[in-house]
A and B are shown apart, each in its own frame.
Chain A
């Protein structure tokens, strides 16, 4: 076992009836890093996270979470991992304080009162502690959920789409908090759909149809993707887009405001296909670095085709 790894699993698989939710997944997350977990809806992100924290038993595969076996030592894992579910899963009919107090009791914390007070103060929920959790706005619910799963001082946080439906300011604050926690040595695995959030992770993994398609730092993922992207500004973008789609070497034509992003995996073929259009005076072509989104969409379509 590698002490530098908070999560080290290999060959993880889970099927529900006919559906293969996770297929032979290997994941290595270093201690103290923020690891982004990306993938389309239904790609197996939630299933993977649930297997990591002992909520689901893998059909096959093995590995460790904080050094504990993911199949045999789920109890130890539960004691040391904070899991934030995708939907709000605290009690809507309890107040903020009552929810925190309940959580602290369940984890058998010795200094419960102080821990709850401290948690309320740190998250700025102290003056709203008597409000029912069900009456909170999305942003506040998310802060409460984070406070609750941090209460027992876990060494690993598993966050399942924590910022879905939360406004940009609250998302920014949330990510500042996550970076603060990582600075304290806590490992964070966070799933998200937002590319700007992916870019705030130390490393990330991309899965589709239950299979891991890429992992590494943002720049590694971009470099390894083998995708070439050109941007073009033009008078009639939509007409140009319609002409470009389907040409050899062009796999994506996506409008971004006044620009089109034209991407493909074969640089030479792509350039050959766009060369006639580069002559047009009204259009300005620039070679650009592909964005994460371009890459992931490319991978997702590739996965669908091969899967």
Chain B
């Protein structure tokens, strides 16, 4: 009979669990508060149909037709003309650095050729490293070409209306012409995997010392905080490089991802990214009371990195405030650098705008970590 289910024993366990849950305030906050925060944050931020994509327009023809076309682009809501480069070189730089998602080139004598019925071509170059970011915009472009000049083609030009369109829109999907998702995802995964493992490992490193009581021993020695932090970081930097190498090999051999840029450059910039993540882990471990909390904090940081960095969803699809949050995260900048180097063949000058923010992030986090690391047990 003693083996039967006992309400009293069951309630004893339930009560004990609730008491323990309430004692661990941070865990409780993570379970109740953080999910709400994330729901609101991600719910409003994520949008897989990005609009208002920054577009550079290179116009060599100052006719009414050119103006109509640009106006139609903006009316479609997918394009937002933010730049007017003076020449092709400047346009090229804008798309290589990722400032422009599209470059629209309207050739000289466009209007004249159109009116003669010679079907001139407008060139639209898209940065297709992330195929989903440009997919819908390109679709809208085809629609728009059909009807854009109907209002301009009146009177004698009326016969030019209708099918086929009186001009041609040539779309170049740059960097990833076939729109292969892996080209975008695989280099991105490098950043995601590094973020996950680097933060978690170092996050546990210091809390482990505290939980096992070895911290007290370490604090009683003359070792300095910076020596401990640096000493804990270096082994994981090596682990990070092993991961980068494996992912690069897999990207090339298994997924046939092109490697256009310098691998040496990638290995150099990866150092800043790894260091930034390790510093986050160490900072967490100076705050977390135990390994469990360090783990929770890792996820707290990891989720926005995953969702707001442009890894899972197009960065430009997010509202401005969410883009601002995303811009603080190292993963956002690393993704742009790794895609830039591998797919676009970016050199140092093109990636620099994304390198320094990681450096600033690193310095800030190390400063907080060193401040939080206590030399005493007080």
State whether these chains interact. yes
Question: Which residues 194-210 in A have Cβ within 8 Å of B in the complex?
Answer: none
Residue from B214, B376, B378 within 8 A of A91 (CB atoms): B214
B213 close to A88 (CB less than 8 A): yes
Residues on B with C-beta less than 8 A from A81 are: 220
Query: Is B377 an interface residue when CB atoms closer than 8 A count as contact?
Result: yes
Q: How far is the CA of A75 from the CA of B220 in the complex (A)?
A: 9
- Could you give, for residues 69-90 of chain A, a 1 whenever the CB lies within 8 Å of some chain B CB and a 0 otherwise? 0000001001101010101111
Residues on B with C-beta less than 8 A from A83 are: 217, 220
A55 close to B376 (CB less than 8 A): yes
Supposing A54-B376, A56-B377 touch, asked if A89 and B216 sit within 8 A by C-beta, the answer is yes
Q: How far is the CA of A19 from the CA of B157 in the complex (A)?
A: 93
B264–chain A nearest beta-carbon distance, Å? 34
A89 close to B213 (CB less than 8 A): yes
A89 close to B217 (CB less than 8 A): yes
B213 close to A87 (CB less than 8 A): yes
Chain A contact residues, majority secondary structure: loop
Residue from B213, B214, B377 within 8 A of A55 (CB atoms): B377
Looking at chain A, what size class is its interface with the partner chain?
A: 20 to 34
B222 close to A79 (CB less than 8 A): yes
Query: Is B221 an interface residue when CB atoms closer than 8 A count as contact?
Result: yes
Residues on B with C-beta less than 8 A from A88 are: 213
A56 close to B376 (CB less than 8 A): yes
Q: How far is the CA of A157 from the CA of B171 in the complex (A)?
A: 79
Q: Which of B213, B222, B376 has the most CB of A within 10 A?
A: B222
Residue from A56, A85, A103 within 8 A of B213 (CB atoms): A85
B221 close to A55 (CB less than 8 A): no
Residue from A57, A78, A85, A106 within 8 A of B216 (CB atoms): A85
Residues on A with C-beta less than 8 A from B377 are: 50, 55-56
Q: How far is the CA of A91 from the CA of B222 in the complex (A)?
A: 18
Query: Is A53 an interface residue when CB atoms closer than 8 A count as contact?
Result: yes
A108–chain B nearest beta-carbon distance, Å? 8
- Could you give, for residues 3-22 of chain B, a 1 whenever the CB lies within 8 Å of some chain A CB and a 0 otherwise? 00000000000000000000
Query: Is B40 an interface residue when CB atoms closer than 8 A count as contact?
Result: no
A78 close to B378 (CB less than 8 A): no
B113–chain A nearest beta-carbon distance, Å? 76
Question: Which residues 173-217 in B have Cβ within 8 Å of A in the complex?
Answer: 212-217
A70–chain B nearest beta-carbon distance, Å? 12
Supposing A103-B221, A106-B221 touch, asked if A90 and B376 sit within 8 A by C-beta, the answer is no
A85 close to B378 (CB less than 8 A): no
Q: Which of B213, B216, B217, B377 has the most CB of A within 10 A?
A: B217
Query: Is A60 an interface residue when CB atoms closer than 8 A count as contact?
Result: no
Residue from A53, A57, A87 within 8 A of B220 (CB atoms): A53
Query: Is A92 an interface residue when CB atoms closer than 8 A count as contact?
Result: yes
Query: Is B223 an interface residue when CB atoms closer than 8 A count as contact?
Result: yes
Query: Is B77 an interface residue when CB atoms closer than 8 A count as contact?
Result: no
Q: How far is the CA of A103 from the CA of B19 in the complex (A)?
A: 41
Supposing A56-B376, A56-B378, A57-B378 touch, asked if A107 and B213 sit within 8 A by C-beta, the answer is no
Supposing A88-B213, A89-B213, A89-B216 touch, asked if A78 and B376 sit within 8 A by C-beta, the answer is no
Residue from A50, A57, A87, A107 within 8 A of B221 (CB atoms): A107
Q: How far is the CA of A50 from the CA of B220 in the complex (A)?
A: 9
- Could you give, for residues 89-121 of chain A, a 1 whenever the CB lies within 8 Å of some chain B CB and a 0 otherwise? 111100000000001001110000000000000
Q: In chain A, what residue has the closest Cβ to B214?
A: A89
Residue from A57, A90, A107 within 8 A of B217 (CB atoms): A90
- Could you give, for residues 204-247 of chain B, a 1 whenever the CB lies within 8 Å of some chain A CB and a 0 otherwise? 00000000111111111111000000000000000000000000
Q: How far is the CA of A90 from the CA of B215 in the complex (A)?
A: 9
B212 close to A92 (CB less than 8 A): yes
- Could you give, for residues 36-58 of chain A, a 1 whenever the CB lies within 8 Å of some chain B CB and a 0 otherwise? 00000000000000100111110
Question: Which residues 349-378 in B have Cβ within 8 Å of A in the complex?
Answer: 376-378
B222 close to A107 (CB less than 8 A): yes
Question: Which residues 118-146 in B have Cβ within 8 Å of A in the complex?
Answer: none
Q: How far is the CA of A54 from the CA of B216 in the complex (A)?
A: 11
B204–chain A nearest beta-carbon distance, Å? 13
A62–chain B nearest beta-carbon distance, Å? 17
Residues on B with C-beta less than 8 A from A53 are: 220
Residues on A with C-beta less than 8 A from B376 are: 54-57
Supposing A50-B377, A85-B217 touch, asked if A75 and B222 sit within 8 A by C-beta, the answer is yes
Residues on A with C-beta less than 8 A from B218 are: 106
A271–chain B nearest beta-carbon distance, Å? 50
A283–chain B nearest beta-carbon distance, Å? 49
Q: Which residues of B contact A (CB under 8 A)?
A: 212-223, 376-378
Q: Can you list 11 A-B contacts (CB < 8 A)?
A: A50-B377, A53-B220, A55-B377, A56-B377, A57-B378, A83-B217, A85-B216, A85-B220, A89-B216, A106-B222, A107-B221
Q: What would 17 more interface pairs be, CB under 8 Å, given A54-B220, A55-B220, A91-B212?
A: A55-B377, A56-B377, A75-B222, A78-B220, A79-B222, A81-B220, A85-B216, A88-B213, A89-B213, A89-B214, A89-B215, A89-B217, A91-B214, A103-B221, A106-B221, A106-B222, A108-B222
8 shortest A-B CB distances, which residue pairs? A89-B217, A83-B220, A89-B213, A78-B222, A106-B221, A87-B213, A55-B377, A85-B216
